Structure 1
Amino acid sequence: MTAARGRRESELAAGWAAAQGRVAEAARAAGRDPSDVRIVAVTKRFPASDIEILARLGVTDVGENRLQEARDKRALLADLDGVAWHFIGQVQTNKAKAVSAIADQVDTVDREGLVKALARGAVAHGRTVGCLVQVSLADDPGAAMNRGGCDPAEALAIADEVAAAAGLQLMGVMGMAPLHGDPARAFDVLAGAAARIRAEHPAATTISAGMSGDLAEAIAAGATQVRLGTAILGQRPAVG
């Protein structure tokens, strides 16, 4: 092992331990069992070797948001078992077939056309792809900076489409709090959408919400999955 590799392993071990500690603290503060909250390590722009190290540390879920990068890493780590690959970026309909070939779960499903395209791709590749319905948590769901997602009122209909589609499995919902505003209020909206979906689809129990800045509010609102990147892996490498 090179000295640089050893340093990186130590850095990631420390980051992973700190992230687990933060999640556990937030869960206990909310009266919840820390084991009920899963961490997705957001590995975008970090090398495949980091994912390999994280897997050895016990990370079971990684998130990528660019198709080509995710495809390249998955190919490099073809023999890596025990890690679920989440696609956390917005998916263009014409890229859905390719995404369905490499993603174990797509966390950003927000329209009927995308459901159909992902389903066609999953069937063509002989795979079952998990899906989260992304719900917009902006005060104005039509605003340009709403961070993606469907109107909360449309979430159940999209969930119904996912549940009925061959090759797809409805897992639950995902939402990101707006950049400005009260995250607790936003996550309450997401929890409401999740409850309506769960009433019709009891197995759709995932609520993906919360990043470094709003982790506690998300877990207090019932999040079962949180996304942490730089908190685990450190400063993200520059593009280019």
Structure 2
Amino acid sequence: MTGQSSDSEARRADLAERLGRVRRRIADATAAAGRADEPELIVVTKFFPADDVRHLAALGVRQVGENRDQEAGAKAADTDDLVLRRHFIGQLQTNKAKSVVKYADVVQSIDRPQLVAALGKAMRREHERRAEDGLPDRGTLEVLIQVDLRTAEQLERDAREPAPEGGNRAATLGRGGAAPADVHSLAALVEEDPNLELGGVMAVAPLGGEPAAAFARLMRISRELQQEHPHATTVSAGMSQDLEEAVAAGATHLRIGSDVLGPRPPLR
């Protein structure tokens, strides 16, 4: 037990140091951008154990993200005593909607009408289940519209890439999301469903492009969206490698994984 305790203390110390460095980067980037408000930090804990989530919560982290349903559900069950805001940030199949709504507070990857419908239906069933079990109502599910920020040139380039064997081309290239032209129609569908709440937009900077330019496009899309939906103010952008550009652009939320948690553990 002493060895396990020592290992746990060492891991928490390592996370504290890494988290401190990331928080300093965010503070410095916020000051450099002349912003009064720092973006909120979401620590992406995919592939890392529930014990790390507990360490992070003890270190003041209040928002965590996952992108695989099976892992996210199991980890949420293992840490359901913690007060955390849980984000699902990965590409989501419609048949996983009923599972995701059991633990996610936010789904950041809305990219097609079928997913809006699936999540709305799953939330209705979740309300019914909770009522039957005598559990408190969980309210609405916040969703963000994921936007594909590739330029026409990048889309043409990626179309020439060979399709991944057994995989999804867009997801493998890190390019999931709806076309900018489809954002407003998706937002309208979300707003029509009483079980869903439109939070705003999310995006990943395209590989091989300039993050600053991509995030500037996302901010323009966000401003246009807010003209019709003033409450949809969330802009989730920026990861370990480009958080400074995201802060400068005006992101409200950052999704940081490896710079807080370190190299991914071997997959089992």
Q: Which amino acid aligns with 1:61?
A: Q
Q: Quick check: 1:239 aligned with 2:267?
A: yes
Tell me, yes or no, if the aligned pair for 1:138 and 1:146 is still in contact at 8 Å.
Answer: no
The aligned amino acid for 2:44 is: V
Q: 93-102 or 206-215: which moved more?
A: 93-102
For residue 30 of structure 1, the aligned residue among 26, 30, 33 is: 33
RMSD of aligned alpha carbons: 1.4
Determine the C-alpha separation between the residues in 2 that align with 1:153 and 1:92.
22
Give the one of 133, 138, 146 matched to 1:134: 146
Q: Residue 103 of structure 1 aligns with which residue?
A: 104
1:226 paired to 2:254: yes
- The question of 1:19 aligning with 2:22 is answered yes
Superposed CA deviations along residues 124-159 of structure 1, whole A, max 9, x for unmatched, are 112421101000011245844361000111111111
Task: Give the alignment partner of residue 178 of structure 1, picking from 200, 206, 214.
Answer: 206
Partner of 2:115 in structure 1? 114
Task: Tell me which stretches of 4 or more aligned residues in structure 1 moved more than 2 Å.
Answer: 140-146
- Output the CA distance in 1 between the equivalents of 2:87 and 2:240: 18
Tell whether 2:237 aligns with 1:209: yes
- Of the structure 1 ranges 136-145 and 201-210, higher mean CA displacement relative to structure 2 is found in 136-145
Q: Name which of 177, 180, 187 aligns with 1:152.
A: 180
| 1:41-80 superposed matches below 5 A | 41-80=43-82
Question: Does the CA-based 8 Å contact 1:123-1:166 persist in structure 2?
Answer: no
Percent sequence identity is 45
User: 1:155-170 alignment to 2 at 5 Å?
Assistant: 155-170=183-198
CA distance in 1 between counterparts of 2:23 and 2:103 reads: 27
For 2:21 and 2:229, locate their aligned partners in 1 and report how far apart those are by CA, in whole Å. Answer: 34
1:36 positional shift: 3.4
2:26, 2:38 within 8 Å by CA — same for their partners in 1?
Answer: no
Unaligned residue ranges in structure 2 (runs of 5+): 128-137, 159-168
What is the Cα deviation at residue 166 of structure 1? 2.1
- Counterpart of 2:163 in structure 1 is none
Q: What is the aligned residue count?
A: 238
Cα pair 2:237 2:255 within 8 Å, conserved: yes
Structure 1 or 2, whichever has the larger Rg, is 2
Where does the alignment leave 5 or more consecutive residues of structure 1 unmatched?
none
1:6 to 4, 9, 24: 9
